[in-house]
A = this chain, B = another copy of it.
Amino acid sequence: MEPDFGALDDALDAADADGYLLDADASTSDQLYLSGFDASDPFVSLYTPDETVLLVSGLEFTRAKRESRADAVRRYADYDYQEKRANNDTATARDLLYAEFLDEFGVESVLVNERFPLATADGLRDHGVSVDVDDDDTVGTIRATKTAAEVEHVKAAQDANEAAMRAAQTLIEAATVRDGVLHYEGDPLTSERVKEEIEVTLLRHGCSLDETIVACGESASIPHDRGSGPLRADETIIIDIFPRDKETKYHADMTRTFVKGDATDEAREFYDITREALDAAFDALEPGATGEDVHHAVCDVYEDAGYPTLRSDPSTETGYIHSTGHGVGLDVHEAPSVSTNATDELEPGHVVTIEPGLYDPDIGGVRLEDIVVVTEDGYENFTDYPLDFEL
């Protein structure tokens, strides 16, 4: 099922632009989505209401013709790039190349995304091409609404994610405690060891990931701290796993928080209130609600319980210090946002995380995160993993 690019046609029309241009490698998900071509070096995609055309190096030409969703593929040699390069510096040769490519397709004005490379834009402008930034992130907005096939890709990645979380939880459950430190098979059980188990499990399930968070104690109180060193008993351990399916390139995302042994009263309250916050978010989540509505439902719970949030104190370093969720797809963080100022309505097909949490260096951190798809009459939670706490 092809995505619906109608909104991009409308954006081009509104901006009076002939085409939408991307200059990026496939790690830029807009590029992967629009071109259907997975390449690790930058290439150019031109979308017009009539056709999608790629401009690639000779090295990628055969594969681009075979694998991309483009209607046509051009390569540098089609525009005598070697000769251009021999007579000019790299930047000038590139500018000439891109200008000739656009000229072939009659494109004199392009719309680009916010992170379009400045050098390419300035070069095209020098050649009389009008380059305007699409402040509305139209491609990102199209990507936010998943087709049925994309929803299945996320679900498959989440299945792998749950296997990995199970492997991590099993290690912690099997650990013994010696001098306050978790041990497994005679050695201290470290954050690194648990991450390795998670990542090998994901690989065996066809997924990869760059980072995993297994953060204990004070580390757990810093939301993006990945964690390191021996895990300790009676402290909170946040495990946040966000794998990417190697084949489909779609992500999943889930967080659980465990304590081996007994949580402190403060940490248990963190956990209990965060479960309430999770429920409150789900109560608010439905098509027509905004991301901000859902985020405010979470802030209400925390503030009512006496914890600071970024809403009540924008400079707080403890309490609820991040947003409630984000879209998940080709990027692990994408539209729509579930946060302050997210005033667009949530729509069926939006895949988002819901991940309230509380943080304090003196107590640790607790975060609980599920991943769901908004449906016509509410939402469907993909996450099939228990909310265990003390192990």
**A interface residues (Cβ-Cβ under 8 A, vs B):** 27, 39-42, 58-63, 75, 77, 81-82, 85-86, 89-91, 112-122, 131, 133, 135, 196, 199-200, 203-204, 208, 210-211, 222-225, 310, 314-315, 317, 321-322, 332-333, 340-341
Contact = CB atoms under 8 A, between A and B. Distances in A.
B40 A211 contact: yes
A86 B222 contact: no
Contacts of A310: 58, 82
Contacts of A133: 91, 118-119, 122
A135 B82 contact: no
7 A-B pairs with the lowest CB-CB distances in the bound complex, closest first: A114-B119, A115-B117, A116-B118, A77-B315, A119-B133, A118-B121, A91-B135
Contacts of A113: 119
Contact of A58 (B27, B135, B321): B321
Nearest to A133: B119
B119 A135 contact: yes
Contacts of A85: 340-341
Number of copies: 2
B321 A59 contact: yes
B317 A61 contact: yes
A58 B314 CA distance: 8
Contact of A333 (B41, B117, B211): B41
Contacts of A42: 115
B135 A114 contact: no
A223 B59 contact: yes
A124 B1 CA distance: 40
B211 A210 contact: no
Between A82, A90, A118, A210, the greatest number of chain B beta carbons within 10 A of the residue's beta carbon is seen for: A118
A60 B27 CA distance: 22
Contacts of A115: 42, 117-119
Nearest to A204: B196
Contacts of A60: 224
A46 to B, nearest CB: 16
A276 B148 CA distance: 53
Given A118-B117, A321-B58, A77 B224 contact: no
Contacts of A27: 27
Nearest to A82: B314
